[in-house]
Amino acid sequence: MDAYYATTPIYYVNAKPHLGHAYTTIVADAMRRFHRLMGEETYFLTGTDEHGDKIVKAADANGQSPQEYVDQISALFQEMLPQIAAEPDDFIRTTQKRHVACVQRILQKVYDAGDIYFGEYGGHYCYGCERFYTEKELEDGKCPQHGVKPEWIAEKNYFFKMSKYRDWLLKHIEKHPDFIRPEGYRNEVVSLLESGELEDLCISRPKSRLSWGIELPFDKDYVCYVWFDALINYLSAVGYPDSPKFKEFWPAVNHFVAKDILKPHAVFWPTMLKAAGVEPYQHLNVHGYWLVDETKMSKSLGNVVSPMDMLGKYGLASFRYFLLREMSFGMDASFSESALIGRHNADLANDLGNLFNRSLAMTHKYFNGKIPAPGEEGVEDIEIKKLGREAMANYQTFFRDLKYSRALESLWELVRGLNRYIDATAPWALFKNGETARLSSVLYTVLEHLRKVAVHLWPVMPHASVEMLGQIGASFDPEKIVLTKELDIWGVLASGVEVASSSNLFPRIDMPEVSVAAEKGKPASKKKAASEKKKKNAPAAAEVEFSDFQKLEMRLGKILEACSHPDADKLLVLKVDLGEERPRQVVAGLAAYYKPEDLPGQDVVAVVNLAPRKIRGEVSEAMLLTAQAKGRVMLLTAPGELPAGAKIA
């Protein structure tokens, strides 16, 4: 059986967990769950990095010993795991005896091989990074990560002959093009190696300057450099060198890290492994930063997002879904509560939640809450099954390739397709006409596809996935499910099993009544505050006669297509089915609130008897109704059980 070993970085315990820690952990957890559903043996590791200068300084500032301090902060990372539904097989700490023994074993092995030597070195030392920088690596004389001028330190230390393995590493990357992914980070590492700037690595600190670390086995006056120590956790956790666990999982190890620790993982680590006689890892998977106000999160800027705060406000399923759906892996992404709410309402409440609710409601209304027996397939059934197979296959391919956003968008093609399938087959009309056999097939087709959607969502939102399956009378056992088989199997749901009467997993979330400035953590300006006060005190809109209101014709519609306006960044061009011979084109100022790919399949309300007009060169033949509150615009949506074109009276 194939194996899969997922690791996060071991998180440095100089501060509490933040959004970046939660994201990396959730990604690794999701990948572990995904590969488990692909029929593989899996292992998932996380933990904490507890040595170094910064730990001593943080402990001193808190009036604690280093051990007391690391025990306290490490516990916060361990407490975070169940709250974000991460289920690692192991949580390693670099202060544990098993890790210390492994580090010293590898140090001695590399030393005995002649790849560690003693020498004197002077360099620019950044205490924040706990590493030396060359002149070329500095930016305007400052650390590129912390923006402060490093301190010049000259001292005798031990060095690892990292430069010896430069050519080997270049050839290994060339031979294994997916060794570092996405591709942009691989190219960055190749450029560094080809520049000729790779030097030997200082791997010790004299105890006279720093005693909080792992003692070198060949010189008791020195402790190990924190990065040489920390990286070895990936080996010590699986029992290097002799345990069955190491032999099974190391060949399939996948490291997940943020881009700020690319160099240690892409250069230090593989050369260390080569020197120790260990095969390199399979993949290094590198993601971007979560930005707030287009800026990297920083304690000094006060823009650090607490994952616990987000979970308390919006729930686990929405939080995990948003992080995986919003960030294109490898690129930076922006975090805001308004974006999270918008994604929740559009994808989870409107699309998936509405689909579950209407399906359960119709099963109760037409079949007393029992799953009906499927009958003969119709044309629509064959088409939706084809769409479902394609959507699931694409989801599996994209997820395996770290393209989580595209994977979820592929799965949502099925979710939206099911909503359209219900509209097209019109179960309410089948019931009214007494077409019970056809009605049975339609509802069974919907419910069985809901089972498949829920199973595929287990890596993303595990608890909600299990709840969704329970609502349609299905159980969940990850040991018995193989996602690839879901492309072809049919009829897993048993007829006659009772389903829930409704689903309230994804209720809509109201946008908080705060100004945009307040959401960004900035006080609203006096001018802004006065403007908002004026709005509150503004007189009510003028009354209109009922006869004027009667002149408006409003209908339910369904968005079929959406794209960006060719000449206006704020506008989208939509094709909307309004129950007529052809769809109408609508130009709407929604680009700031919706991505074009999020809109197809949405049920909307439109005013249809306005005179057509050109907006920046594109004809608009109707107007969609929206609701607005504090900087956010949301489309007014319809229940979905009514067909496109239904009039609103």
So what's the pLDDT on residue 514? 42
Catalytically annotated residue among 16, 109, 146, 164: 146
So what's the pLDDT on residue 640? 59
Is there a domain that residue 408 lies in?
yes
Same domain, 269 and 388: no
Is there a domain that residue 612 lies in?
yes
Helix 354-367 vs helix 436-456: angle between axes, to the nearest 10 degrees? Answer: 150
Per-residue pLDDT of 470-524, as tens digits, reads 999 999 999 999 999 999 999 999 999 999 998 888 999 987 654 344 444 444 4
Is there a domain that residue 54 lies in?
yes
Task: Please report, for the domain that includes residue 51, its CATH number.
Answer: 3.40.50.620
Average pLDDT of the residues in 76-99: 97
Least confident segment among 56-60, 264-268, 511-515? 511-515
Chain-centre distance of CA 146, in angstroms? 26
Question: Is the per-residue pLDDT at 68 higher than 90?
Answer: yes
* Highest-pLDDT range among 50-59, 302-311, 362-371: 362-371
224 a catalytic residue: no
Amino acid making up residue 419: N
pLDDT band at 297 (very low <50, low <70, confident <90, very high): low
So what's the pLDDT on residue 176? 97
- Name residue, tokens 């004027």: 548
Least confident segment among 324-328, 334-338, 625-629? 625-629
259 a catalytic residue: no
Same domain, 38 and 156: yes
Same domain, 277 and 356: no
Average pLDDT of the residues in 540-544: 53
Mean pLDDT across the chain: 89
Same domain, 99 and 25: yes
Is there a domain that residue 554 lies in?
yes
102 a catalytic residue: no
Per-residue pLDDT of 211-265, as tens digits, reads 999 999 999 999 999 999 999 999 999 999 999 999 999 999 999 999 999 999 9
565 a catalytic residue: no
Catalytically annotated residue among 51, 99, 126, 344: 126
So what's the pLDDT on residue 548? 59
Per-residue pLDDT of 391-427, as tens digits, reads 999 999 999 999 999 999 999 999 999 999 999 999 9
Is there a domain that residue 230 lies in?
yes
**3-state secondary structure at position 330:** coil
Which of 329, 327, 456 is closest to 33 using CA atoms? Answer: 456
pLDDT band at 527 (very low <50, low <70, confident <90, very high): very low
Residues ≥6 apart with Cβ < 8 Å to 287:
23, 24, 27, 256, 257, 258, 259, 327, 329, 330
So what's the pLDDT on residue 549? 67
Which of 422, 398, 402 is closest to 410 using CA atoms? Answer: 398
Question: Is the per-residue pLDDT at 533 higher than 50?
Answer: no
Catalytically annotated residue among 51, 99, 124, 143: 143
Task: Please report, for the domain that includes residue 390, its CATH number.
Answer: 1.10.730.10
Same domain, 23 and 168: yes
- Name residue, tokens 């033949």: 621
Is there a domain that residue 326 lies in?
no
DSSP 8-state secondary structure symbol assigned to residue 520: T
Whole domain around residue 104: which residue ranges? 3-287
Task: Please report, for the domain that includes residue 558, its CATH number.
Answer: 2.40.50.140
Whole-angstrom Cα distance, residue 637 to residue 353? 13
Per-residue pLDDT of 132-162, as tens digits, reads 777 778 888 888 877 888 888 888 999 999 9
pLDDT band at 534 (very low <50, low <70, confident <90, very high): very low
Same domain, 103 and 250: yes
512 or 598, which is more confident: 598
Is there a domain that residue 439 lies in?
yes
Same domain, 20 and 117: yes
Tally of domains in the chain: 3
Same domain, 131 and 268: yes
Is there a domain that residue 184 lies in?
yes
Catalytically annotated residue among 142, 164, 296, 313: 296
So what's the pLDDT on residue 126? 82
Catalytically annotated residue among 51, 102, 124, 129: 129
Least confident segment among 94-103, 127-136, 473-482? 127-136
247 a catalytic residue: no
265 a catalytic residue: no
| Whole-prediction pTM | 0.78
